[in-house]
Amino acid sequence: MSERISLTIEGGVADVRLTRADKMNALDDAMFEALIETGERLSKDKSVRAVVISGEGRAFCAGLDMGNFGKMAAPKSDDKKDESIIGRLEKRTHGIANRPQHAVWVWRELPIPVIAAVHGVAYGGGFQLMLGADMRYVAPDTKLSIMEIKWGLVPDMAGTQIMRHLVREDIVRELTYTGRIFTGEEAGRYGFATRVTANPLEEALATAREIAGKSPSAIRASKRLLNAAVVVEPVEGLIMESVEQDKLIGSPNQIEAVMSNLEKRAANYAD
């Protein structure tokens, strides 16, 4: 795929791996670009039914590349037109997001489920990248941190918008204000980790294969509903449920789901 990410697709499951192992998969400009490019490519591939994202080597992702912090310490110039990750972040370059935010949000917007398999460390931007997945399988000894405060910054890669739906507000605030490093075990107790497991990648791939065996029409409809559920009012959400269900009932994939169960055979769904 690129020098930063490898992508293999088998049986409807996309295996996405950050491959900058020598730098603990830290986020540099090339990694941001690779994350966005990969996410956007997968959003257009209807043969893909689930995604697993992980990191090679000792870590999932150690956060922003250290080289960027020196650049941040340089005085700003009002006439400097820098649109990089350390430039004018207010500009919306990808829909509702800027470029660094989109590197996380693209996985949220993907029409299919995404599972993050997390080990080693997930700090700062790496922690927020993990949050962009639908589910997070985390090794118990993983070290995690909302680390931006260490550098005099705030979490700004969509983290504040996602964390508030996962974890108690006071816990989010404590971790954000202190930058405290916590473990995968704690992440499970807080609600950041969907599953705490010694083999996050193996179990994430197994879950992805299970999802890939379900009706892709129903899975995509479910993700649309669940993405919307955290932002719409109940009156709109209930209508959305009915609209999605009306489209599914009697459709080829829904009929195939019924028949394959009645006939006790593997389903053969259309993309």
Nearest Cα neighbor of 8 from 37, 42, 33, 36 is 42
How many Å apart are CA 246 and CA 240, to the nearest integer? 10
Distance of alpha carbon 146 from its chain centroid, rounded?
Answer: 16
Could you give phi then psi for residue 191, rounded to 5 degrees? Answer: 115, 0
pLDDT tens digits, 119-129: 999 999 999 99
The pTM of the full predicted model, rounded to 2 decimals, is 0.92
Is residue 38 helix, strand or coil? helix
SS3 assignment, position 96: coil
Q: What confidence tens digit (pLDDT) does each residue in 35-50 have?
A: 999 999 999 999 999 9
User: How much is the pLDDT for 70?
Assistant: 56
pLDDT tens-place string over residues 137-180: 999 999 999 999 999 999 999 999 999 999 999 999 999 999 99
Query: In terms of pLDDT, which residue wins out, 271 or 70?
Result: 271
